[in-house]
Structure 1
Amino acid sequence: MGWGLACALALSAPGAQAGADPDPDYASRRAASSGGIDAASVRELVPLWSFSTGVLRGHEGAPLVVGGVVYLVTPFPNVVYALDLVHDGRVLWRYEPRQDAGAAAVMCCDSVSRGLGYGEGRLFLYQADGTLVALDARTGAPLWSVRNADPAKGETGTSAPLVVRDKVIVGMAGGEYGARGFLSAYDAASGALRWRAFSTGPDADMLIDPRRTTQLGRPVGEGSSLKSWEGDQWRVGGGAPWGRISYDAKLNLIYYGTGNPAPWNPAQRPGDNRWTAAIFARDVDTGVARWVYQTSPHDQWDYDAANEMILADGVVEGRARPLLTHFDRNGFVYILDRATGELLGADKFDPGANWARAIDLDPSSPGYGRPDVDPRFSPQANGEDAVTRGVCPATMGSKNANPAAYSPRTGWFYVPVIRLCMDFEPFHIDYAQGQPYTGADTTVFPREGGLMGALIAWDPSARRIAWEAKEPFPVVSGVLALSGGVVFYGTLEGYLKALDARTGEELYRFRTPSGVVGDPVAFSFEGRDYVAVLSGVGGWAGAGLAAGLTGGKENETSPQVYAALAKYTALGGALTVFGLR
């Protein structure tokens, strides 16, 4: 099925919410008005002040700015700070939760937090131990708290809560521990549970209507998940929705992805393992699924579908469509009609992804929507205890959860990419609650040429990379596109960089105190324009460095990643705020 965008995607923001402060990016576009910051003036950007968090793990996510106050949350122990923007980051208040230190021990890929939620004068903190807390944004006083996840089962909290009208929505992490994934919606005023939808199991648990919930325009049918698992493996089957959530107010739908099935060893879980590694569209009020699409059926490589869903309208084959664009960990970019879930296109944004040749786009084909898997890179085909060599991408994916950006000015997407491959060796593992449940060893290494990452500009009309800025290490920061034609991102060595959105030319760089795995933001206050970013190496790409695995036997799985990175940066969390001279 051919497809293409006949014009630049529309500028309308489907998630606009009247009266919200700040205006939330419900569409996950990460596009902002640049004020006075453009391709000419960005060279005059200077650091105004910085703030040390005192925490030495990965600082993912972004600061949240409301009026003249900058709010941020650290990795575990999840300290929340309110800082005075115009008085050099003076601390207005500080909140440090009391939580079991054991929660950090069961966090898969560093003890990160991806940010705070905000609505109606309340901040929402999702702690590592799975507790959701509402704080008074003015004073930091706790208003209510509720336990959403249980670390004893390997369930933890890493994601930023999404506030939609009167609800706060959060997922959970824990797929590497066999935790059964679920998404929860709470009353923002009281903390009462409104609904909960599981990723696997009976239809009633998943809030799936077998006659009305569709995949690729067809009803999923009764027991769509149960029929795709052997026995009761779905009870420990993963599918954790630990990534970002998008929202379309007109359709009243939220969009999110589910994580990998458990264990990683595919021989232990025959079937498609629905609905892990899948995209869900759900009604905000009821949680009932409108549609679902599985990007990696029977995922054999840890290719979570948890990356962000970018919402923007476009024209496909002469017809205006409400679109959802998803750059998956598996190396393919998917375009779906976000109202119906119809698959409109799928291309490799990572030309080196070799696990599958293509996605079947023929609606009349029995394999419609499924990947054409190359058996040379299939652990299932090669068998348990055999090493499948040279699989690309590695488990970290061609892109991880750090968000891409969409620029209405160029009509292009700006995508942080990872260029690592792996050798994958599955083995049998028995489930034990609260213990790692992966069942595979991996050895990760750079692709030919040695460069491990890039920022790419993806042209959806031409279905190709328009330009790329190569990087020596994986790019695992978020991206920000400004209306002035500038794109910001961070590097693992610690640079904040600004590129020309049309050409990819580097216009600005500044070395922050540590590697950047956070998301740059831009905002204006009292007539001045600002850019801010969290630095603090860690997350999956820097977890080995954060844990001290830079040499010796512990480093055998990735010697060319962590040991090399240690020569360029060190641990340490900081917020740096920039402005024009």
Structure 2
Amino acid sequence: MRLKLTTLLVGAAMASLAAHATVTDQMIRDDAKTTSDVLSWGIGTQGQRYSPLKTINSSNVARLVPMWSYSFGGEKQRGQQSQPLIHDGVMYVTASYSRIYALDVKTGKRLWKYEHRLPEGIMPCCDVINRGAALYDNLVIFGTLDAQLVALDRKTGDVVWKEKIDDYSAGYSYTAAPLIADGLLLTGVSGGEFGVVGRVEARNPKTGEKVWVRPVVEGHMGYRYDKDGKAIENGVSGTPGKTWPGDLWKTGGAATWLGGTYDPRTGLAYFGTGNPAPWNSHLRKGDNLYSCSTVAIDVKTGQIKWHYQNTPNDGWDFDGVNEFVTFDDGNRILGAKADRNGFFYVNDARTGELVNAFPFVKKVTWATGIDLKTGRPNYVPENRPGDPTASADGKKGSVVFAAPSFLGGKNQMPMAYSPDTKLFYVPSNEWGMEIWNEPITYKKGAAYLGAGFTIKTINDDYIGALRAIDPKTGKIVWEVKNEAPLWGGVLATGGNLVFWGTPEGYLKAADAKTGKVLWQYQTGSGVVAPPVTWEDKGEQYIAVVSGWGGAVPLWGGDVAKKVNYLEQGGMVWVFKLMK
């Protein structure tokens, strides 16, 4: 009897350990509430990047010190934009050139490494970055620069499955962290500057098999897949030809390159869509749906339930891909988005109804505001780049100065929301550009812009500013200015703290209510990634990836020259309180 009882207890203990190790749908739904791990990009699928942890707080954060750091090594430094995931004593962190590491969270010891073999001829738009992975069951899943998805055994790093997203020679790539929503693996595509067609795909995360595909360029057919993998038509996106002239919709862009968020209460996944292709808006008169939009997709059916277009007929590469973060407002679920075009939008998360819109940067030249009744921008026509066919030689349209620049009032760097302060913390940039249009025709695998540009500074003393923004009033409650552009994400905590990094290499912490900077640490290279936090046995930890790069040094013009002294790198840092 005693032996039988012992066997039962051991069996129960092993089952408990197995259940703890396996990442379930319920665990992912609870990610924002649980504090012992970080299971999704956004610290919860809603993307709020808020942790209720308060062991590290505004009264003791000055005692934060490094616990360990780990170098990604080799010559493959470049931009490091990854958000680490934490589970079962292991950190999973991706790095440039499609690499992923499993590290012991206590010591930083490498448990395994997977380095994807990349072919010649990949065409990443904006550096060889990767923004993170997804955890599901016993798998860690991430995307690669040659547009593949790779699922690895979390314990060993062995490949379990590998699936091709699309043809990298046509300009497709993948840089986002995949999203797990209601048992499905959701991914987008990168490559908007090469005339790709943006879409969202749902797969079985255990096998990689497709469940449905939803294009986000009007006129393209969606599909669902039966148990044998046969494609079944699932309705065309939008009304063919309604907002696109001629055949331009066939290479329409609208890449879903940042990935999405998901709110289980609405059953909708929210993906931002990128710029229409080409940049020359005079070639594609019309709104060009669903580019530069937030698109809400029913995860069960793969159907678009609503969309809101932030920049109809985009002529500035303002994109619309920035994250849509859902939050509670009394009896409603709202979603917020700080768009590259310089305006902050609040929509009803169930219906898409525009609730509020206001500028969050101080200089916007392309529109005077957003009409809250129609939801459309009030354009300044003379500040749209000119039509090259109207010029004397037909080669270059009139040059305009536009603000923000196409690098955006906010770009890939994710903002955070605190339900304590009810404020959004937005990494913002003040810059402009000279931009003009040129003739262009589509060629597979070639850049498809039809525009030229030069990024310009606006202020002498700063470009970046972390801003605390009230979504109800539109007011900037406080800001912390930064000489270089801000290109890394934000973390808010229950300890009345906000963490963010700077290109100069600092990870910083400020009082969430006042913006007073309380702590900073020099990581050795620019921080262009979002921090995370978790706890283990009563101790709270902070982690961030450091490594300067991304779009700014590649595309930044005068701004890139101003910050060309910044050094590249590739490390992950973990901090805790000094006892």
TM-score range, shorter chain: 0.7 to 0.9
By how many angstroms is 1:68 displaced? 1.3
Q: How does 1:361-440 map to 2 (within 5 A)?
A: 361-362=372-373, 368-380=374-386, 385-440=396-451
Moved more, 18-27 or 410-419: 18-27
In the alignment, which of 32, 37, 45 is matched to residue 26 of structure 1?
A: 45
SS at 2:106 equivalent: helix
Q: How does 1:238-257 map to 2 (within 5 A)?
A: 238-257=253-272
CA distance in structure 2 between the aligned counterparts of 1:493 and 1:160, rounded to whole angstroms: 25
Report the AA paired with residue 373 of structure 1: Y
Matched with 1:195 is 212
By how many angstroms is 1:448 displaced? 3.2
In the alignment, which of 549, 560, 563 is matched to residue 561 of structure 2?
A: 563
1:360 paired with 2:374, answer: no
In the alignment, which of 463, 488, 491 is matched to residue 480 of structure 1?
A: 491
Contact 2:254 2:276 (C-alpha < 8 Å) held by counterparts = yes
SS at 2:169 equivalent: helix
Unaligned runs of 5+ in 2: 1-26, 225-234
1:79 paired with 2:77, answer: no
In the alignment, which of 144, 147, 168 is matched to residue 164 of structure 2?
A: 147
Matched with 2:113 is 94
In the alignment, which of 145, 160, 171 is matched to residue 177 of structure 2?
A: 160
By how many angstroms is 1:201 displaced? 3.5
Deviations 1:440-471 (A, max 9, x none): 11011111334111000001232210011011
Report the AA paired with residue 281 of structure 2: P
CA 1:169–1:222: 2 relative to 1, 3 Å: closer
Deviations 1:120-156 (A, max 9, x none): 1210011111111111111111111110121111010
Report the AA paired with residue 72 of structure 1: V
Deviations 1:276-330 (A, max 9, x none): 1011111112211111111100000001111111110104xxxx21101111111
By how many angstroms is 1:167 displaced? 1.3
- Output the TM-score relative to the length of structure 2: 0.88
1:40 paired with 2:59, answer: yes
Q: Using CA pairs below 8 Å that are at least 6 residues apart, which structure has the higher relative contact order?
A: 1
In the alignment, which of 294, 315, 319 is matched to residue 309 of structure 2?
A: 294
CA distance in structure 2 between the aligned counterparts of 1:119 and 1:578, rounded to whole angstroms: 26
Look at both structures and tell me which one has the larger radius of gyration over its CA atoms: 2
Matched with 2:12 is none
By how many angstroms is 1:71 displaced? 0.9
CA 1:262–1:43: 2 relative to 1, 3 Å: same
Report how many aligned residue pairs link the two structures. Answer: 530
In the alignment, which of 527, 531, 535 is matched to residue 516 of structure 1?
A: 527
Matched with 1:9 is none
CA distance in structure 2 between the aligned counterparts of 1:17 and 1:287, rounded to whole angstroms: 24
SS at 1:43 equivalent: helix
Q: Percent same amino acid at aligned positions?
A: 38
What is the alpha-carbon root mean square deviation over aligned residues? 2.1
SS at 1:226 equivalent: coil
SS at 1:379 equivalent: coil
Moved more, 304-313 or 444-453: 444-453
By how many angstroms is 1:34 displaced? 2.7
SS at 1:29 equivalent: coil
CA distance in structure 1 between the aligned counterparts of 2:402 and 2:218, rounded to whole angstroms: 30
Report the AA paired with residue 56 of structure 2: I
Unaligned runs of 5+ in 1: 1-12, 208-219, 363-367, 545-556
Matched with 2:329 is 314
Contact 2:197 2:217 (C-alpha < 8 Å) held by counterparts = yes
Deviations 1:327-355 (A, max 9, x none): 11111111111111111111111131121
Q: How does 1:234-273 map to 2 (within 5 A)?
A: 234-273=249-288
By how many angstroms is 1:491 displaced? 0.4
- Output the TM-score relative to the length of structure 1: 0.88
CA 1:198–1:285: 2 relative to 1, 3 Å: same
Contact 1:535 1:574 (C-alpha < 8 Å) held by counterparts = yes
Report the AA paired with residue 572 of structure 1: G
Matched with 2:474 is 463
Q: How does 1:542-557 map to 2 (within 5 A)?
A: 542-543=553-554
SS at 1:466 equivalent: strand
Matched with 2:11 is none
CA distance in structure 2 between the aligned counterparts of 1:238 and 1:340, rounded to whole angstroms: 25
CA 1:191–1:457: 2 relative to 1, 3 Å: same
Report the AA paired with residue 158 of structure 1: T
